Amino acid sequence: MGVPFETLLPYGVILVMFGITGGALGGLQHMQNGGKRGRHNTDMWDRVRVPIGFLEWRGLMLTSLQQMMDRDRRLTGYLRGQSDRVEAAPGYELNSAWRCEKRFL
């Protein structure tokens, strides 16, 4: 006596929903990394924690990033952007951020 197919419908729903979630998260990660594989295992080569408000102002929503990656963002405009031009664009030498306390601003 076989199992009626209605029994398996919830499992189908579960599978489809996992698929949608995974696809959406993978697509989001792909988008955030600019189509490249993600960085992982990044060391303490100055883990700079930039306040979230600053990142929102720059149009990014990540909470912690590395100094070199932050430098890439200052150079190219994207956290994962890369460029091999020898001289920086004008204005780069002045857009470094000083982290300071509220009372000094």
Q: Which residues bind other proteins (CB under 8 A)?
A: 36-41, 49-51, 54, 68-69, 71-72, 75-76, 80-89, 92-102, 104-105
Q: How far is the CB of 28 from other proteins (least distance, A)?
A: 18
With respect to other proteins, which residue has the nearer C-beta, 7 or 103?
Answer: 103
> Cα 65 to chain center, whole Å?
9
Tally Cβ neighbours within 10 Å of residue 11. Answer: 9
Tokens of 14: 């579960």
Q: How far is the CB of 88 from other proteins (least distance, A)?
A: 4
DSSP 84: -
C-alpha 26/C-alpha 14 separation (Å) is 18
Q: How far is the CB of 76 from other proteins (least distance, A)?
A: 6
With respect to other proteins, which residue has the nearer C-beta, 18 or 92?
Answer: 92
80 and 34 in contact (C-beta within 8 Å)?
yes
